[in-house]
Amino acid sequence: MPEQLPRNAGDGAIAPTGAGGAMDIATEGAGPGGPPGAPEGGGASGEARSLWSDAWHDLRRNPVFIISSLVILFLVVISIWPSLIASGNPLSCDLAKAQDGPAPGHPFGFNGQGCDVYTRTVYGARASVTVGVCATVGVAILGSVLGGLAGFFGGWGDAVLSRITDIFFGIPVVLGGLVLLSVITNTTVWPVIGFIVLLGWPQISRIARGSVITIKQNDFVQAARALGASNTRMLVRHIMPNAIAPVIVVATIALGTYISLEATLSYLGVGLKPPTVSWGIDISTASPYIRNAPHMLLYPAGALAITVLAFIMLGDAVRDALDPKLR
């Protein structure tokens, strides 16, 4: 029988394709270059994206993420190179100008010792950002490792870790800082970072443990186990990449909390100590003069509030992008 000529594809006809006998079904509503319901343009636009590429696709279109990222980028830059926008010395003071208001070259005025408030506010970002970033990295690594191992292996190790985290959750953070840091005379940021890591890892550990317990029940993990994958390979290649998203969200939000915690401890006199320049120290020294010279308190407190808000906004944007329940 002679081969029928194909009719117009728009009529929904079935057209033979040649010797193989395979047939292409042309149906109405199919997008160009793709199956029915495929996006216009076909090709790469119809390909499935991974969790991270899909999250990045949403983040770069989120104004909250863009604004908070720009603020954080600015803070990181001035933390590394504060001299870019402040040419003075934060430790250079003139008692003759104590509590004076704004003046040419000194837009924020002077504090109780005659130091330039603007310069100290700019240089104070270094200590706060350093404490926040280093403490968050330490907490995320320690908590993820302990929680991930406990959730994967279970047994008595999981039970012991759960009881230890319960003990740490019962310790008030500020009270623990007053007790532990009051006996340390080191004026650098490392004792404060170590204290935050010591009391902050249980939260990340519990998040990582729950995420790993959920992920290891999935079919792809069971398939990898059936194919003979080792525990290390399953943890590194299959479980942790899929369980790390909640940890990143919690750690990003906690970063702002750690910055405010450092300022609180420094305000109480047990965190960073002079001659270290810190927003918490400046807020503490300015609080007695809030009526006579409010500018001494306004600018370091405002910088602290903006920094904490920027990191919390970043964490919220990352959470919205990584949590499929919020889509």
Positive or negative: CA dihedral 51, 54, 56, 61: negative
pLDDT in tens, the chain (327 residues): 444 444 443 444 434 444 444 434 333 344 444 444 444 444 444 566 676 777 788 888 889 999 999 999 999 999 999 989 988 889 888 888 888 888 888 899 899 888 999 999 999 999 999 999 999 999 999 999 999 999 888 889 889 998 999 899 888 888 888 888 888 877 788 999 999 999 999 999 999 999 999 888 888 888 888 888 888 888 888 888 888 888 988 998 899 999 999 999 999 988 888 888 999 999 999 998 888 888 899 999 999 999 999 999 998 888 888 776 655
CATH for the stretch 62-326: 1.10.3720.10
Q: Which residues pair with 80 in a beta bridge?
A: none
Phi/psi at 106 (nearest 5 deg)?
-135, 75
Cβ neighbours of residue 160 closer than 8 Å, sequence gap 6 or more: none
Nearest to 191 by CA among 316, 276, 111: 276
Q: Write out the H or E segment, with its range, that includes residue 79.
A: helix 63-80
Contact criterion met (CB below 8 Å) for 25 and 9: no
